[in-house]
A and B are shown apart, each in its own frame.
Chain A
Amino acid sequence: MDDPEERFTDLYDRHYRSVLGYALLRAERDVAEDVSSETFLVAWRRLAELPEPPLPWLLGVARNLLAKQRASRHRRQALVDRIAALTTARDQAGWDVAEHVVDREAALAALAALPERDVEALVFATWYGLPPEQAATVMGCSVRTYNVRLHRARKRLGQALRLGDGPRPRPRLLTTPLEDSHD
């Protein structure tokens, strides 16, 4: 594996999809793909210096390129908007099967109320399974700051979801006997 072409191909095959998966959360498809391709071009140029494991580093490069992208005429797209845009009927069906206490819309609404970086912290912890040191590398902050964001995100999301749990309308028969009078 000391052949750089082979090493790079392996890196690409292992991680391209993860990087593109992240970029798709921050940008439309064409821009996300361009950013992912650029990320790997940077990785090729710096192949000899890549840290181990390389994924957090790659995600960090993609994140920086996306930040530059947002400074351009592309309007920044909120993470939660992208999640909503990418959600399909299949996801909805999976959600319904899992019988969550809140519906998917409400969960997304709760997320939308959180600071963007807090949601991102959750993404790296939960969707990517990155330990705090690695997630902090991606986000370019200290491990302490990252942990604060993650903790805050979990707490607020939990609160929002519990709030959502309370006033949910209960089955009609038990709550509104008046409506039955028309039968």
Chain B
Amino acid sequence: MTDRLFAQLRPGELDDLADDGYRRRRSADLARAFATPQVTPRSRRRPYLLMAGTAVGTAVAGLAAAAVVVVSGEPAQPPARPPAAAVPADARSFLLAAASTALREPAATGRYWYVRERTYMRVHTAPGEYAARIKALVDAQKRTEEQLKGDPGRLAAAQEEFRRKVTELKMNELPYTAFSADTRETWRPMRAGEVARTVSNQDVEVTFGSPQDEAAWRAAGSPELADRNQKTRDDAEERILSIDNPSLNLRNLKDLPTEADELGRRLDELWRQSPKESGADKAGYLWQTGVDLMTAPLRPGTRAALFRVLADQPVMKLEGRVSDSLGRTGIALSAPTQHSFTVRLVVDESTAELLQYELAVDGGKVGLRVTLEDLGWTGSLDDRPAS
């Protein structure tokens, strides 16, 4: 009778607070542990050497553990906000923790893989002006080629000259710094041959690096810097999931290994087969492929293995806890990649999901930023994931 009554004195709030603490602390706690050396169990074979050392070591470890407990605020004052967890010690320990988290997430599947991403990027050309200049070049070239018919030597030279001019035009930079942002949604069908949908150029915005840049743009006649026409495209073409890995598609992702060493070998193989379109080196390839895979419907085991593969990359740096462009908090990791770019990932601590990725040039100036606003499975081309 007493036990039953005592059992009912247990406040239900304990479960809620424990769940809440568990969710907030898990990622940082796992990361901190993985960054901490373990105590080697005492060896029975060499007691004479280890005895004293181990005893002292244990006592010190105990003291250190107690000393790290944060003591703050007045005892009677309840904390105004839930306490923030410590930032993981380094990229490797964070990625190992993310691997554990990924493993915990349930596997799911559906008819369409949906991604909504907002892309923010440096504008290199004013699209209208660029198109007009290309058209002028092409028209002039047609006339030239017409005149040079029957003179293969001069025709070849003219074609060479034409390619040079086009390249020059492509490399031309605007004399001011501007950025465009737009949102794109894609629904990729799981089954081959079904119609996919892309809705691009949503909520288009143009911003400038500084008021001076904006003034320079006005002085240049305020050319339109972004395509503002929202476009919906439905077709049954197979969309490439990862530019560097044309052999991957939604259906064969499930064949990727769930074990880190094996996945590492598979990625090496994919790298050798890669058309190397982006001109990336191996490190750059790994990052781009990592991003492509993180935004794809991988099995939890493969996602975990991917984090472990990345954890073994020594060039990675942990930058700390940051907010993405939607204000979501995550851990930022960065690594140098080809052409003096730095790639920067922001990963959610509690779900190990990629929130945002960026490419920055030397000084840390962002050239491209993609924020993953939503992703998941849907049952139809009009649905969005029920999250």
Contact = CB atoms under 8 A, between A and B. Distances in A.
Interface stretch (B5-13, B196-204, B229-237, B268-276): B5-13
A36 B36 contact: no
B22 A125 contact: no
A116 interface: no
B140 interface: no
Interface in A50-106: 65, 68-69, 72-75, 77, 83, 86-88, 90-91, 94-95, 98, 100, 104
B340 interface: no
Contacts of A90: 12-13
Interface string B180-192: 0000000000000
Interface in B267-301: none
Interface stretch (B78-86, B244-252, B369-377): B78-86
A45 B14 contact: no
Contacts of A21: 14-15, 17-18
Contact of A45 (B8, B15, B61, B76): B61
A40 B21 CA distance: 13
Interface of B is mostly: helix
B5 A107 contact: yes
A4 interface: yes
Task: Find the residue from A20, A77, A94 having the highest chain B CB count within 10 A.
Answer: A20
A77 B28 CA distance: 28
A43 B22 CA distance: 16
A148 interface: no
B260 to A, nearest CB: 10
Interface string A152-163: 001001100100
Given A9-B100, A12-B30, A36 B70 contact: no
A40 B33 contact: yes
Given A28-B78, A45-B61, A91-B11, A65 B69 contact: yes
Given A74-B75, A87-B13, A44 B22 contact: no
Interface of A: 4-6, 8-9, 12-13, 16-18, 20-21, 24-25, 28-38, 40-42, 44-49, 65, 68-69, 72-75, 77, 83, 86-88, 90-91, 94-95, 98, 100, 104, 107-108, 111, 122, 125-127, 154, 157-158, 161
